[in-house]
Structure 1
């Protein structure tokens, strides 16, 4: 299968198809308030930082990746933030609004078509985001990474899981391994990278689970248990990610 990777700035006619591409994200991942507030605006403003992979024969979109530029030079931004994905979107949106000159780029999403997973496309899209940032003169691409095997161990602290390595010294987690092989280095855990609040009824709709007892609830594909509070009628999922830095010098 031949693949062509371009930016959305080069192929703006693909934008609707990108949003409608079938993927494997669990339903609850679509309900981060920060994403709803900022992703669309940033995506529209930074189409030249988004990449899309198409099948050469069918023209079908088989994967895409989003990254957003932001400034790490401003006061209070010296460290890669605990609030990871949510924080970098807020920084990028603030910088866009104020006209701040960016000095870094963060990858924020890499998605592969549900019918084309397991073919190495995620690595191709990551390489495209790296190359795109470097071509624009940036010296780093950072990423609050969602390790794809962590959901199998929801009770394991991310601080333990993220730094496991195989005998060859590469990360035990497959997605972290792709990043490290591409030249990334694991820096630290973002313990509160995304927050997903909802009523109990919303969580029942998103997951098909009863949410009828207070306490931690293990939800398929969640990296940690969801905190359920029956008395107060809500549940909250706080997802940890792992900061990976790709030096582009």
Structure 2
């Protein structure tokens, strides 16, 4: 593959291809209420932080995409540490920074997505490195990521802190996505226990998952990192997804 990577600031004409991208995420994850603050502006406000990749032989179809967002952090603005609400938190911080006219100090990764038929081909590491280079090119020294470990969904009842503590004999994380971050210099700095919160009626959750959602209690949902909390009496279900903060010095 003759891979080409560019930002939408460099190639705004490619923005329509995002609509046709084969998104690999489960349906319920597309209903985080914070997400539109970012994704509604990927080709405008955040064009420089939206990377797209394609095969030069097939320029009309993306093979991967990457999203990041700049935000401010520091004791002087009451943000001494990364937020417990991870993915949601940095998007909201960036929005508040924009409203306040505050200059960003850090960049947070939000997503790397690989076309499903190309997963496992090494594109994830290429896109992560492109994300790192893009942040450095814009003058930033710190890239953080509220990482979604890609095999945690196989153990939904295991606390994230315990999952992260599992390492191989070579000292690298057992989880492949965390391990990839570690191999390129990322350091795990903590767990964000509520990186993303998604709530809905039972009818919505049935539509998102195809599951009955007919009993109160915890329900295991395919590809969810934690069980979903269900209340039949109150006609709602709430999913609180944890993440892992990883820091990359650039």
Q: Same fold (TM over 0.5)?
A: yes
SS of equivalent to 2:124 = helix
* Superposition deviation, residue 99 in structure 1: 1.8
Equivalent residue in structure 2 for 1:207, among 203, 209, 225 = 209
**C-alpha distance in 2, partners of 1:19/1:150?**
28
**Between 105-114 and 38-47, the greater mean CA deviation after superposition:** 38-47
**Between 163-172 and 216-225, the greater mean CA deviation after superposition:** 163-172
Equivalence for 2:134: 132
**C-alpha distance in 1, partners of 2:226/2:237?**
13
**Between 65-74 and 188-197, the greater mean CA deviation after superposition:** 65-74
TM-score (norm 1): 0.97
Unmatched runs of 5 consecutive residues or more in structure 2 = none
TM-score (norm 2): 0.96
* Superposition deviation, residue 49 in structure 1: 1.5
**C-alpha distance in 2, partners of 1:220/1:247?**
34
**C-alpha distance in 1, partners of 2:200/2:167?**
35
Judge conservation of contact 2:37–2:95 (CA < 8 Å) in 1.
Answer: no
* Superposition deviation, residue 216 in structure 1: 0.3
Q: Which runs of 4+ in 1 moved over 3 A?
A: none
**C-alpha distance in 2, partners of 1:42/1:123?**
22
Equivalence for 2:13: 13
SS of equivalent to 2:81 = coil
Unmatched runs of 5 consecutive residues or more in structure 1 = none
**Between 160-169 and 234-243, the greater mean CA deviation after superposition:** 160-169
Equivalence for 1:99: 101
**C-alpha distance in 1, partners of 2:43/2:173?**
30
SS of equivalent to 1:93 = helix
C-alpha change, 1:138 and 1:239, in structure 2 (3 Å) is same
SS of equivalent to 1:65 = strand
Equivalence for 1:71: 72
Equivalent residue in structure 1 for 2:236, among 229, 234, 237 = 234
SS of equivalent to 1:169 = coil
Q: Provide the alpha-carbon RMSD of the alignment.
A: 1.1
* Superposition deviation, residue 238 in structure 1: 0.2
